[in-house]
Amino acid sequence: METIRADVYDYPKYYDVLFNAEWKREVEFLEACFGIYAKCTVKNVFEPACGTGRLLPKMAALGYSVSGNDLNKKAVAYCNARLKKYGLPESVATADMSQYITPKKQHAAFNLINSFRHLPTEEAAASHLRSIEASLVRGGIYVLGFHLTPQGEALCESESWFAQRGTLALCSNMRIEKLDRKKRTEDIVFQLQIETPKRKFRIEDRFTFRTYTARQIDRLFLKVPELELVATHDFGYDASRQTPIDGETEDAIFVLRKR
């Protein structure tokens, strides 16, 4: 099988199909969080590092004004073209999530699937949180989800999943190639197999995530005291039930609120 070594974000259509399966649960969870934790009526929502903006059209259909940003120009173009198709403003900017402040204040922001860990340093991560804080109204919330590194051995060192849309079939595998706790890096190999009626091939991408233990993320949040941690959940997306975060936690969603 032909293997193409490339940035998976350069193939936004495949990325969008692959990560779209949970959209309904994610949107319902976000709406529940807005009602429970925000101290304002949520009308404007922003997704940093939105990629293809999987959830933005879904949220716009519910009446929210949506916007986002991403570094990958192809993903941004794909997202804006889809927003335009639905008669919505092309509201996604090509920008660095560690620096970007929205032109208009937001009532809520969200980032649910590990994009936060692409930020390579503590400084970049803190800068991102400060940018989010500057983008939110008082009482607005940021719903941030990603994998923590447990103190012991990780229960999940690889993930595989399948998705299909029409005649397009996708099968992916993402695995940890190397974990360096001292440098706080996690080298990832991501393989995506694509099958259409006319072609079968594989895309292989390699990238590095920054790691966070429960203590390390607590210390990071303390650097931006304007954002108060008000709740923690897991990837079960049940807003009615909070999940305590400890040294063995792997899947975590943090709800931060602007004081």
Q: Is 132 left (phi over 0), alpha (psi -120 to 50) or beta?
A: alpha
E runs forming strands in the chain: 2-5, 44-47, 65-70, 92-94, 106-111, 136-147, 158-165, 168-180, 185-195, 200-210, 227-233, 251-258
The sign one gets for the Cα dihedral 130, 227, 106, 115 is positive
CA distance 78 to 11: 10
* Superfamily, domain 152-210: S-adenosyl-L-methionine-dependent methyltransferases (2.20.25.110)
For 75, the 3-state DSSP assignment is helix
Give all strands of the β-sheet with 227-233 in edge-to-edge order: 92-94, 65-70, 44-47, 106-111, 136-147, 251-258, 227-233
Helices 122-135 and 214-222 meet at what angle, rounded to 10?
A: 50
CA distance 200 to 3: 10
Give all strands of the β-sheet with 200-210 in edge-to-edge order: 2-5, 200-210, 185-195, 168-180, 158-165
pTM for this prediction: 0.95
Residue 241's Cβ-count burial label (10 Å; 0-12, 13-18, 19+) is exposed
pLDDT in tens, the chain (259 residues): 899 999 999 999 999 999 887 899 999 999 999 999 999 999 999 999 999 999 999 999 999 999 999 999 999 999 999 999 999 999 999 999 999 999 999 999 999 989 999 999 999 999 999 999 999 999 999 999 999 999 877 666 788 889 999 999 999 999 999 999 999 999 999 999 999 999 999 999 999 999 999 999 999 999 999 999 999 999 999 999 999 999 999 999 999 999 9
* Nearest-10 Cα torsion for 66, 71, 76, 77: 150
Q: What is the pLDDT of residue 57?
A: 95
Number of other CB atoms surrounding residue 234 within 10 Å: 17
Q: What is the pLDDT of residue 155?
A: 61
Q: What is the pLDDT of residue 159?
A: 85
The gap from C-alpha 97 to its chain's centroid, in whole angstroms, comes to 11
Locate CATH 3.40.50.150 in the chain: 8-149+212-258
DSSP class of 118: G
Q: What is the pLDDT of residue 161?
A: 87
Q: What is the pLDDT of residue 1?
A: 82
- Residue 98 corresponds to which amino acid? S
* Superfamily, domain 8-149+212-258: Vaccinia Virus protein VP39 (3.40.50.150)
Locate CATH 2.20.25.110 in the chain: 152-210
15 contact partners, CB below 8 Å, separation of at least 6: 8, 9, 51, 52, 75
